Structure 1
Amino acid sequence: MGGAQQHKALSGLAIFFSVFLPFALGHYLSSLLRTVNAVLAPNLVQSLSLTSGQLGLLTSAFFFSFALVQLPVGIALDRYGPRKVQLVLMLLAGSGAVMFAHGNSFAELVVARAVIGFGLGGCFMSAVKSISSWIAPERLPSVHGYLIAVGGLGAASATLPVRLALQFTDWRGLFILLGALAACVGLLIWLVTPRAAAAAPKMPAPTLHSILDVYRDPAFRKTISLMLVPHAVFFGLQGLWIGRWLSDVAHFSDAAVAYLLYLSMAAVIFGAIAVGMLTEWAGRRGVKPLDVAAIGIGLFLLVQIGIVLNFKPSFQTLSVLFTLIGTITGIEYAIVAQSMPASLTGRAATCLNLLIFIGAFLVQAGFGQVLGLWQANVLHQYPVSAYQAAFGILVLLQLPGLVLYVRRRGRAPAPAAVQAQAEGAVA
């Protein structure tokens, strides 16, 4: 049954409750569990006496396993459909959360965190694949925007709501609850989602050559040269180190940090919607999405430079702006999909996921290692200079991509010149 036929077979309300909502809940939980350590960091450090390096490695294990599972999950989704795949993966994620709740050492928590990442690695892709089977093509961009907004809601739920939950239980009890919720979402998808939505033609597994075709594509390389590192920085810092920076450098209380993180994560919802609207508005005026992204990344770097300069009057504003402006990196997927041949877009999304989450792992783990070069105080807090150095290194890593893009933009012929050349060739 084709997507258009399926779209006619179910009403919009039925599609929302039986297709969009179950898979969106999986993406919601994925975002929540990805960012929850930002609030739980003080509890984890106190319970297990973790160093900054260990905290970074522990939290970033999610990104590493998430990246490793992208290719296998992509193959499984094509062969077995999102309904079956998500049942297995959400049960695996639930098991990982329970393992985390019972972990008594750094190594046990790292393994558990990695299992959670494996289990949640297909949430977004399975949601997109299932929704695409039931939604008319012209409605997909807006529906994908809603899905990203649900992820922002999940990230926001990892802040103040988690802080409130800790008044009734500890972090171990919280992870048992999250594990149960993950299992329930998997069962909900299995029971509620129409079987036809899982029907998909069996596609051959991608070969090494077919994957390399993506990386050889000039449009793909041009996009990631500008956006990959900022995207990895955005993911790697928002889920942990922005919260620690607010605690260690700004000296805000845990409650104040949770509130600011709530505002920051909630900004993802507005940022995702605003980026889409802004990109469409600019496109109608002849501005390419990659140009919009370049401007956004420039602003994103200015925010980070403000942090490096330790601009005290705006600590709260900088923390929120980091997440709000950082959502510009999310249009990387749309730019790649629009600029590459249709035959490569599926593999391109998978390869992009792989690179982004490996990058996020390196950023999150590496940031902790840099902090560890300084001595923490008795409250496990690191000095201002440690954070300035860590943020400064990240700024230096992002600058070359923006400079290269500006240089390429300067060398590119203006549209009028291109048209004149074309007319001359025709004449």
Structure 2
Amino acid sequence: MDLSKRKWSIWTTLVIAFITVFFHRMAISVMADDLIRDLNLTGKTLGNLTSMNFYAYALMQIPVGIMVDTIGVRKISSLGMLITGIGSILFGFSSTISMAYIARFMVGLGTSVIIVSIIKVQTIWFRREQFSTLSGFTSLSGNLGALLATFPLAYLVMGVGWRKSFQLMGVMSLIMALAIWLIVKEKPDGEADKKKAFSFESITNGLKTVITNPYTWPPFAIMFLMVGSMTAILGLWGVPYLMHVYDMSKAQAAGNLSLVAIGFMLGGPMVGYLSDFLKGEIKRILFAATGLFTFIWAFIAMAGGKPNAVYLPIIFFMLGVTTICHILAFTNVKDVNPDSLTGSAAAIINVGEFVGGSLLSFLIGVFLDYGWGGTIQNGTRIYSVDQYQKVFIAIAIIGFFSMISTLLMKGKEKKVNIIHEEGSLTL
């Protein structure tokens, strides 16, 4: 296979795996009421269950970045999908909350490896000026998984139940583990192996290079604040909100939220191409995106937490378009850190999304339980629009701090030169 075909087959295989990552990440939302009923959950325990995936994902990001930079993409990503498949199947058989926690934690461990692996492949196999465009199409493909986890999954759950749905997802993940093992290759044929022996000291030096770089942290903040809050809504609380406040069916609620995924899918390639076309103009794009994100949540809050249903498709679509601009945070953190530490740098900021997503999923659940009026319908707690309005006010404030973070980013006019030690990790 020639170099061009080889690199595209590797990238495509990992991107298909990324579809399953998003599917697993967002799947809980459309079956929240089923889980509450069958596993006897409260809002707090449901938030905890969702957060298990995020906790594991966040916990593994820095180790995964190190392993991708040292052991390689093929071994790490195939092992990750194997663990994902086993965890998903186990979740389908869960009869207790403890078993469900363990299973979702396994899914988080397994899925944590894919995005860092893709970023590493894009750095090794493709030209630098292609990076943002490729990231955009990666986002499009991944968010196809988020779209599939809305109304298609809702209909699947209504047809075969949530248990068989997760078992099927697990089998698909196992198939992807095998595909990655057979197709993915570490580096182009004939390229010299530039890897140096690594040790605890070299690993810590590499991490120190990234962590002590002040320009690493504004992209991290964007992931923690903007993306983390959207993850909490899309991944858990969006469907219950629409069902409780607008009296929608599960399928209707999931269909409305699917517009966020469509916004992700259409916005990703456009944002990536725009950044590459403008030769790395990231800061202004992200400032505009975080500003619009903040405005949308403020509008929802000012509408009493229940804007006219006519506006919901536009609201959710635009939330998708604005949030997907976070892919430029990966481009930015790659540009301000050494290429040899791409995996570690991407992993560190990716922690932000999942720490933010898990923390907010949990805190929203605690807040909703605290103000719960005692209403139960079909075994599920029903929360009031006033409670959801306060949640949206908090997200608007979070959006404002995301805007501030973009102002602290390295702009294209400020070239950062980073000299790293011989002991740090290299390709």
TM-score, length-scaled by structure 1: 0.84
Match 1:29 to one of 11, 16, 20: 20
The aligned residue for residue 378 of structure 1 is: 376
Letter matched to residue 388 of structure 1: Q
Deviation, 1:169, is 0.9
The aligned residue for residue 312 of structure 2 is: 315
* 1:63-99 CA-partner distances (Å, limit 9, x unpaired): 1100111122223223332222222221111110111
The aligned residue for residue 69 of structure 1 is: 60
Match 2:195 to one of 201, 204, 221: 201
Match 1:290 to one of 276, 283, 288: 283
Q: 3-state SS of the aligned residue for 1:334?
A: helix
Which structure 1 residue ranges, 5 or more long, are not aligned? 1-8, 416-427
Match 1:20 to one of 11, 28, 32: 11
In 1, distance between residues paired with 2:338 and 2:63?
A: 23
Q: Determine if contact 2:229/2:360 at 8 Å carries over to the other structure.
A: yes
Letter matched to residue 195 of structure 2: P
CA RMSD of superposed structures (Å): 2.7
In 2, distance between residues paired with 1:328 and 1:231?
A: 10
In 2, distance between residues paired with 1:369 and 1:200?
A: 50
Aligned: 1:159 with 2:150: yes
Deviation, 1:128, is 2.9
* 1:147-173 CA-partner distances (Å, limit 9, x unpaired): 221101111111122123224311100
The aligned residue for residue 4 of structure 1 is: none
Q: Determine if contact 2:119/2:346 at 8 Å carries over to the other structure.
A: no
The aligned residue for residue 264 of structure 1 is: 260
In 2, distance between residues paired with 1:259 and 1:174?
A: 18
Deviates more, 1:49-58 or 1:387-396: 387-396
In 2, distance between residues paired with 1:385 and 1:374?
A: 9
Q: Residue 200 and residue 344 in structure 1: after superposition, are their counterparts in 2 closer, same or farther (change >3 A)?
A: closer
Deviates more, 1:315-324 or 1:154-163: 315-324
Q: Determine if contact 2:291/2:399 at 8 Å carries over to the other structure.
A: no
In 2, distance between residues paired with 1:145 and 1:196?
A: 22
Match 2:2 to one of 2, 10, 27: 10
Match 2:88 to one of 85, 91, 97: 97
Q: Residue 373 and residue 218 in structure 1: after superposition, are their counterparts in 2 closer, same or farther (change >3 A)?
A: same
Q: Determine if contact 2:144/2:261 at 8 Å carries over to the other structure.
A: yes
Match 2:250 to one of 245, 249, 254: 254
Deviation, 1:404, is 7.0
In 2, distance between residues paired with 1:359 and 1:348?
A: 18
In 1, distance between residues paired with 2:75 and 2:117?
A: 10
Q: Residue 133 and residue 339 in structure 1: after superposition, are their counterparts in 2 closer, same or farther (change >3 A)?
A: closer
* 1:240-270 CA-partner distances (Å, limit 9, x unpaired): 2122221122221112112112222122111
In 1, distance between residues paired with 2:176 and 2:65?
A: 20
In 2, distance between residues paired with 1:325 and 1:222?
A: 17
Q: Determine if contact 1:67/1:353 at 8 Å carries over to the other structure.
A: yes
Aligned: 1:240 with 2:236: yes
Q: Determine if contact 1:78/1:202 at 8 Å carries over to the other structure.
A: no
The aligned residue for residue 325 of structure 2 is: 328
Q: 3-state SS of the aligned residue for 1:349?
A: helix
> More helix per residue: 1 or 2?
1
Deviates more, 1:264-273 or 1:219-228: 219-228
Aligned: 1:276 with 2:272: yes
The aligned residue for residue 69 of structure 2 is: 78
Match 1:46 to one of 37, 43, 59: 37
The aligned residue for residue 387 of structure 1 is: 388
Aligned: 1:301 with 2:278: no
Q: 3-state SS of the aligned residue for 2:105?
A: helix
Match 1:192 to one of 158, 161, 183: 183
The aligned residue for residue 368 of structure 1 is: 365
Structure scoring higher RCO (CA < 8 A, sep ≥ 6) equals 2
In 2, distance between residues paired with 1:88 and 1:64?
A: 19
Q: Residue 207 and residue 15 in structure 1: after superposition, are their counterparts in 2 closer, same or farther (change >3 A)?
A: closer
The aligned residue for residue 145 of structure 1 is: 136
Deviation, 1:394, is 2.8
Deviation, 1:32, is 0.6
Q: Determine if contact 1:100/1:109 at 8 Å carries over to the other structure.
A: yes
In 2, distance between residues paired with 1:120 and 1:397?
A: 26
1:350-365, aligned counterparts within 5 Å? Answer: 350-365=347-362
The aligned residue for residue 215 of structure 2 is: 219
Deviates more, 1:65-74 or 1:136-145: 136-145
Which structure 2 residue ranges, 5 or more long, are not aligned? 414-427
Deviation, 1:137, is 4.2
The aligned residue for residue 418 of structure 2 is: none
In 1, distance between residues paired with 2:98 and 2:90?
A: 12
* 1:315-351 CA-partner distances (Å, limit 9, x unpaired): 3432332222211223111122224455654432121
Deviates more, 1:63-72 or 1:217-226: 217-226
In 1, distance between residues paired with 2:234 and 2:197?
A: 36
Q: Residue 312 and residue 203 in structure 1: after superposition, are their counterparts in 2 closer, same or farther (change >3 A)?
A: farther
The aligned residue for residue 97 of structure 2 is: 106
Q: Determine if contact 2:87/2:103 at 8 Å carries over to the other structure.
A: yes
Letter matched to residue 53 of structure 2: F
The aligned residue for residue 418 of structure 1 is: none
Deviates more, 1:104-113 or 1:389-398: 389-398
Letter matched to residue 69 of structure 1: M
Q: Determine if contact 2:69/2:341 at 8 Å carries over to the other structure.
A: no
In 1, distance between residues paired with 2:186 and 2:214?
A: 39
In 1, distance between residues paired with 2:74 and 2:219?
A: 32
In 2, distance between residues paired with 1:157 and 1:203?
A: 42
Q: Residue 136 and residue 335 in structure 1: after superposition, are their counterparts in 2 closer, same or farther (change >3 A)?
A: closer
Q: 3-state SS of the aligned residue for 2:160?
A: coil
Q: Residue 391 and residue 212 in structure 1: after superposition, are their counterparts in 2 closer, same or farther (change >3 A)?
A: farther
Q: Residue 138 and residue 214 in structure 1: after superposition, are their counterparts in 2 closer, same or farther (change >3 A)?
A: closer
Q: Percent identity?
A: 24
Deviation, 1:405, is 6.0
Q: Determine if contact 1:78/1:203 at 8 Å carries over to the other structure.
A: no
The aligned residue for residue 420 of structure 1 is: none
